[in-house]
Amino acid sequence: MQHHENVGLRLASTRGIPLIYFHGIVPGQYAASWPVFIVGDDPAALTFTVAVDEKRLATNADIAQDTEAPIRRRYVTRLVRQRLHQVAFRERVLRAYQEHCAICRLRHHELLEAAHIVADVDPEGEPRVSNGVALCKLHHAAFDYHFIGISPDYVVQVRRDILEEADGPMLQHGLKGVHGGQLYLPTALHQRPSRQLLEQRFTLFRRVG
């Protein structure tokens, strides 16, 4: 209870000293949040409660007089948690797919994203790798707007009106060319897209098309 780190955190709490918090994203990778404040201390459980604040307000000399600080910190903390949730989900999905777009095999990390099969606002849209697919920015957008769909047997389908459309080489090679292709899958079976979730999403794709 009186470990030097605990004493230091309690001192930071009573004095309102901002700290830096390192969030574990995936093994060996962290995201830093600053400034954070110790806003709760449970000595019996040896735990502290941390809240995030905004840099421009946390450096204000009158912060101790700010009666809205607790409300603001709860709000900012929620936003940071959402951002870190998305970062962690992306990194887990990209690792599962060995940093390939599952449709076109593009391997540039900066151009890859983690697409949700079922949106995270949906009750079944949990941030599991099996509810995600690694896609490049083009195919993520096409997937989100139902230009392309992925069947439960992992076959890529392009919407009929897109297949019949005449346009430039990007449409021909970037979208039409992937029609009927097999999805690139993670090696681990438990990380592969859930067939049940794909069926839900594919039903919507067919309805739109």
Query: Quick one: 129 and 197 in the same domain?
Result: yes
Pair 83, 118 in one domain: no
Last residue of a domain, one of 45, 80, 95: 95
List pLDDT tens digits, range 150-208.
Answer: 999 999 999 999 999 888 888 999 999 999 999 999 999 999 999 999 999 999 999 98
Residue 130: predicted pLDDT: 95
Q: How far is CA 94 from CA 90, 97, 120, in A?
A: 6, 5, 17
pTM of the model: 0.67
What is the model's pLDDT at position 61? Answer: 46
Q: Which of 95, 121, 150 is the last residue of a domain?
A: 95
Q: Which of 62-71, 77-86, 129-138 has the lowest mean pLDDT?
A: 62-71
Q: Is the pLDDT of residue 123 over 60?
A: no
Residues 107, 163 within the same domain: yes
Q: Given a cut of 70, is residue 15 above it in pLDDT? A: yes
Instruction: Please check whether residues 90 and 109 belong to one and the same domain.
Output: no
Q: How many domains does the chain have?
A: 2
- Domain-terminating residue out of 68, 95, 122: 95
Q: Indicate whether 42 pLDDT > 50.
A: yes
Same domain, 190 and 108: yes
CB 35 within 8 A of CB 55: yes
One domain for residues 121 and 63? no
Q: Tell me the DSSP string of 53-103.
A: --HHHHT-TTGGG-TTHHHHHHHHHHHHHHHHHHHHHHHHHHHHTTT--TT
Strand, helix or coil for residue 113: strand
When the pLDDT of each residue in the chain is averaged and rounded to a whole number, the result is: 81
- 112-122: per-residue pLDDT in tens? 999 999 986 55
Q: Which domain holds residue 159?
A: 99-208
